[in-house]
Structure 1
Amino acid sequence: MQALVYSFIALSAAGLGALAYFGLTFTPANAILLAVVFGCVCVVLMERVLRQRAENRLERAIEDLSRLLSTDAQAGAVLGQRINAIADLNPGQRLETVEADISVLGTVIRQVAEAVAEVEDKVAKANAARPSGTHSPDARMIAAPPPPPATPVSAPDPEPVIPLEVLRQALDENRLVHHIRPVVRLPQRRAVGYDLVPRLMLEDGELAESSDFMPRRGGKDLVRLIEATGLAEAVAIARRSRTGGQPAMLHIPLSRASLGDAEATEQLLATLDANRAIASALTFLISESNWLELTTRERAVVEQIARKGAGFSIANMRSLRIDIADAAALGVRSLRVDATRFIASPEKFTDFHISDIANYMARFEVSLMATGIGNERQIVELLDNDIILVQGDYIAAPGPVRADLVLESARPAQQLRRAEL
């Protein structure tokens, strides 16, 4: 390619010399000098351009190498911490203790076997000495099989306080309201998103929490209606906040009652198609139990939702020992753990050190969020371990949405005092 460019430069220089000689009546020496000067200038400019390109490529290669070295350094640091932790375990002493315990256990088992053999010999001699048709009471006791163990009965899930009929009537009367609970980033404690919290306005004006009215057995049509109303409310808030120059990330409750229904999923996907501009600001909040029980068809719906730009946040995580890469491929943006349980017993959630789990998940662009924050000490401990997304009543309790951001049709008859988003 460079040879072709240099050929064009030579031809251009020769053409310019010929033009100067024949058209501008230059002397042959002047024409040749003009052609040589023009060619030299073009060659110098070309070499400068090539040198700049080579320098740019070299800078990019150095930046890529620096990033790779930084990643390797972080991996080396994590590996060093792991090795130090293993070295601190002192396996030699532990193995000696285990060997001693095994030796003692072997002695006890041998003594038990000898005692059982003696008892069996005595029973056999006693049976041989008795007439036929009679049996020793001791023999009957030994031969009798042990009673079967009692089967534990699992306690049923507590039913909601508000029955389905009352909930259905309240929905017909448009007494469902949606409040928001902020998700903040430490240490600034600036809101980076909001959970959409459905609440039911009772006849006396009080508000019932979702745990008091959300059906647990049956009533899937009501669950789908509540979740569809929440999606419509979230779309309206996201569009109007984006228009006002303050875009908000919203977390919308979702369950298998909607994912498993063809009509509900069709409406959900159609809503996302019609609002692709704000789809990235919508995150569907689904519980861990629902996520792990997804069928093949429901998983396909989840993949379609992720392809349209929306994401997922898995709540009530009891263990972080899941395939993070697979979850990220399905559009999972965050995993939520209870702050109190996670700080008290991190080993029940993960095999990683508590200071490493958040950085490990960040490699897959998945955030770890601590919920149920109850005091300042928890915030300090989470911040020390690089867990910066938190939520809880200590941070901010759920509150109503600003009046100009909600749907007109979703406002209840009893208006509440509106707080700022």
Structure 2
Amino acid sequence: MQALVYTFIALAAAGVGAAAYFGLIFTPAEAILAAVVFGCACVVLMERALRQRAENRLEKAIEDLSRLLATDAQAGAVLGQRINAMADVNAGARLEGVEADISVLGTVIRQVAEAVAEMEDRAAKPQPVGRDRMIAAAPPPRATSAREIEPVIPLEMLRQAVGENRLIYHIQPVVTLPQRRPQGYDLVPRLMLEDGDLADRADFMPRRGGEDVLRHIEGIGLVEAITISRRARTSGQPITLYLPLSRATLGDSDASEQLIASLEANRAIAPGLIFAINETDWQSLTTGERAIADAVAKKGAGFSLVNVKSLRVDVAELAGQGVRSLRIDAARFIEEPEVYTDFHASDIANYIARFEVTLLATGITTERQIVELLEDGITLVQGPHIAAPGPVRPDLMVEAGRPAAPQLRRAEF
């Protein structure tokens, strides 16, 4: 292609020379010089155009190469991230979770098979007729639930005692097995009587009505818990406190606003505050009360459901709502585990722990119960056999307006 172009340039130069010789009456030497100059100028212009074209092609090739290198670098970065992610995967933990699921599934299948076999055996037996059949078909009578015992101290006397600052808070430890190290402490309200004796919660806490007194008692407990937590954190011994909470506080606008404001002002210690609320109250929360509970969880505090009657619940949903522990009666769980769950007793604790929720057995009265709970994988316990409620150290208490309490050294923090 370039040879053809140069041929045309030579022909054009010859034509220019001929035109100069014949048309412009140049001498032969001048005509040849004009032809040579024209041809050189054309060659220079042609070479410049070719060089610019080559440079443009080279720049484009470099851009394409840079783009390819950038794509390769990005692909390398993605590959590195995937390799790092694969390196960070804890295969052992996942395998343990799969093994736990398989164990639970095997237990459920075994229980289903036993139930089916029992039903087949019952179906194979001849059914009695007449009156005997009617008696056999009748369902067994249900045990009548114990009627709630009314508090010994009337509501008005309680209101007067609270107004006179005769309400004090003791603590009862929650320990982990088998070391029996304190995991946290329950704030236990007690009422100081006029003769100096202490009344327990069951003796004065109202069952029906008295929401204003409940709010006042729980407000005092919140102030006490914040003071103890802040002073314990300052002394280098942060603790976990379980403090009582009810719908009387969650359902009142002023009390709930004060609760949220207190948690907002004490965000540093909020994760160490766990509100113990009755399971019945938790399940009966209205939309507004549920919103307050969610706001409490967002501030960092948690919840512990008290008097749990059944573990057939959505544990993942409870964990998402801020529930950290489920409290069950130790004696009833040991004697009648089927009342709480369809899982095997040794599997339920591990299953619930997968959702970062802990089973807490309360009411420990004997050493045998501790051994059986350890066999079932329950390591968080509380009860009179572990330690009775006792006073807090004086340097951690709210000192203003508090009467002196008798020293109980067993549970002193």
* Pairwise TM-score range, normalised by the shorter structure: 0.7 to 0.9
SS at match of 2:269: helix
1:218 maps to which of 205, 209, 220: 209
**1:7-406 → structure 2 map (5 Å cutoff):** 57-58=82-83, 60-64=85-89, 66=91, 67-87=93-113, 89=114, 91=116, 94-101=119-126, 104=127, 108=130, 157-406=148-397
The 1:347/1:59 distance shift into structure 2, 3 A limit, reads: same
* Corresponding position: 1:416 with 2:406: yes
Q: Bigger CA drift: 57-66 or 235-244?
A: 57-66
Instruction: Give 2:332's aligned amino acid.
Output: R
**Runs of 5+ unmatched residues, structure 2:** 1-64, 135-143
Report the Cα distance in structure 2 between the residues aligned to 1:81 and 1:214, rounded to whole angstroms: 42
The 1:416/1:355 distance shift into structure 2, 3 A limit, reads: same
Matched-pair identity in %? 54
Is the CA contact 1:402–1:418 (under 8 Å) kept in the aligned structure 2? no
Report the Cα distance in structure 1 between the residues aligned to 2:108 and 2:116, rounded to whole angstroms: 14
The 1:392/1:60 distance shift into structure 2, 3 A limit, reads: same
SS at match of 2:202: helix
Instruction: Give 1:82's aligned amino acid.
Output: V
Is the CA contact 2:171–2:391 (under 8 Å) kept in the aligned structure 1? yes
Offset of residue 54 of structure 1: 6.2
Instruction: Give 2:173's aligned amino acid.
Output: P
Tell me the TM-score normalised to structure 2 length: 0.74
Offset of residue 240 of structure 1: 0.6
Instruction: Give 1:284's aligned amino acid.
Output: F
Is the CA contact 1:254–1:285 (under 8 Å) kept in the aligned structure 2? yes
Report the Cα distance in structure 2 between the residues aligned to 1:180 and 1:96, rounded to whole angstroms: 53
Offset of residue 183 of structure 1: 0.2
Report the Cα distance in structure 2 between the residues aligned to 1:374 and 1:395, rounded to whole angstroms: 8
The 1:233/1:55 distance shift into structure 2, 3 A limit, reads: same
Superposed CA offset, 1:348-400 (max 9, x none): 11111111111111111110000000111100110111100000010000000
Report the Cα distance in structure 2 between the residues aligned to 1:330 and 1:93, rounded to whole angstroms: 39
Is the CA contact 2:325–2:360 (under 8 Å) kept in the aligned structure 1? yes
Superposed CA offset, 1:128-156 (max 9, x none): xxxxxxxxxxxxxxxxxxxxxxxxx9986
The 1:98/1:399 distance shift into structure 2, 3 A limit, reads: same
Tell me the TM-score normalised to structure 1 length: 0.73
What is the root-mean-square deviation of aligned Cα atoms in Å?
3.1
The 1:385/1:4 distance shift into structure 2, 3 A limit, reads: farther
Report the Cα distance in structure 2 between the residues aligned to 1:400 and 1:65, rounded to whole angstroms: 45
Report the Cα distance in structure 1 between the residues aligned to 2:118 and 2:246, rounded to whole angstroms: 50
Report the Cα distance in structure 2 between the residues aligned to 1:383 and 1:219, rounded to whole angstroms: 40
Offset of residue 70 of structure 1: 3.2
SS at match of 1:228: helix
Match of 2:61 in 1: none
Offset of residue 415 of structure 1: 4.3
The 1:154/1:346 distance shift into structure 2, 3 A limit, reads: closer
Match of 1:16 in 2: none
Instruction: Give 1:245's aligned amino acid.
Output: G
Instruction: Give 2:86's aligned amino acid.
Output: A
- Count how many residue pairs are aligned between Structure 1 and Structure 2: 338
Report the Cα distance in structure 1 between the residues aligned to 2:319 and 2:288, rounded to whole angstroms: 19
Instruction: Give 2:268's aligned amino acid.
Output: A
Instruction: Give 2:106's aligned amino acid.
Output: G
Offset of residue 339 of structure 1: 0.4
Report the Cα distance in structure 2 between the residues aligned to 1:93 and 1:230, rounded to whole angstroms: 52
Match of 1:127 in 2: none
Offset of residue 202 of structure 1: 0.8
Superposed CA offset, 1:263-291 (max 9, x none): 11011111111111111000000111211
